[in-house]
Amino acid sequence: MSQEEIEDLHIEENNELNSEELYERLTLVVDKGQEPLRIDKFLLHKVVNTSRNKIQNAIDNGMVLVNSQKIKSNYKVKPEDQIIFYSDTDPVTYEIIAEELPLNIVFEDDHVLVINKPAGMVVHPGAGNFSGTLINGVAWHLKKQQPDLDESKLPRFGLVHRIDKNTSGLIVLAKSELAAVKLAKQFFDHTVQRKYIALVWGNFDETGGTINGHIARHTRLRKLMDVFPEGDQGKEAITHYRVLENMRYVSLVECVLETGRTHQIRVHMQHIGHSLFNDEIYGGNRILKGTVFTKYKQFVDNCFDICKRQALHAQTLGFIHPETEKEMLFESELAEDLKKVIEKWRGYTSINHFTERP
């Protein structure tokens, strides 16, 4: 794939360039010579891409801790105070236009909204994608329930994490600022259960394993992500995988995310030599395992036509409800294109098991 083609893909997938987790924790230690100063003014000068209103909201919602304690906005920092600030990792905001779009709502109450997102739908508006996103549809849905809803009070209409445009599956949104804070902390603390099903190239000798490699932008192709096993660049990324089924040329695997980095499963699986089937960005859109026979190539091309995107589905999502504090667990069926391509591979390998060379 040429650099120009990669650039074009990432104009379409602009929202995938940031971490799936939309909040990060900033830790600050106040200098020994610091004069007493209101904490909102202190943070305004210390944190980039923020505003006083954003800091005030964070304080009000318990996202700013001093010496592990919640504080009020009139708190004055003291020398050697330890401050933790849960900060939005994506400060760029766009006007959200409510649009009537079909949403597959799995669960909803006054606090959370769980949606089964189809492949091909971008999660939230950004450069190149100002309409037709999941958040445009959620805005319409929530405005029908609350005609006087103040959009500024619920950033991105409660988005606390995201999944790639061409990944199908479950995503949770908050319906209140407090729910957003509590869910965001769960994602940051890695207590949210997230399991994905992926069809990848190649067979495995082992039944499973753990991939631990920092993820950062590729050193040459700056629109791609890459793995840095020594941890000298990027952020720590951990993926646990379990092989569900070997199908000679491809395998079905379950991936459990411990962290939520950009394209984590896609780049981790490529790193261990098992690119996702038909992953155009990470090399899975060409034959990586199989025979030299023409009929085999035709078969693979037919599979690509059935599943026109990376074969990845967010199947399981579990979290603690922000209000009731009860454990919530949701599972979704595989998307139809994934079901069809998996069955096609099962049939092919069963029929041709003794007639073709690997």
| Residues annotated as part of the active site | 164
What single-letter amino acid sits at 100? E
- Which tokens in the block code for residue 236? 């720590």
Q: Count the neighbouring beta carbons within 10 Å of the beta carbon of residue 78.
A: 13
| Pairing, β 64-66 against β 238-247 | unpaired
Measured distance CA(320)–CA(70) in Å, rounded: 21
CB 279 within 8 A of CB 267: no
For 194, phi then psi, to 5°, come to -135, 115
Rounded to 5°, angle at Cα 53 from 52 and 56: 85
Alpha-carbon separation of residue 201 from 113, 245, 319, 326, 351 (angstroms): 34, 12, 31, 39, 19
- Which tokens in the block code for residue 24? 């990060």
Q: List, edge to edge, every strand of the sheet that includes 23-29.
A: 23-29, 82-88, 64-66, 69-70
The beta-carbon contacts of 281-290 under 8 Å, at least 24 apart in sequence, are: 281/1, 281/6, 281/9, 281/224, 281/310, 282/224, 282/310, 284/200, 284/201, 284/310, 284/311, 288/201, 288/202, 289/201, 289/202, 289/203, 289/249, 289/250, 289/358, 290/249, 290/358
For 158, phi then psi, to 5°, come to 85, 15
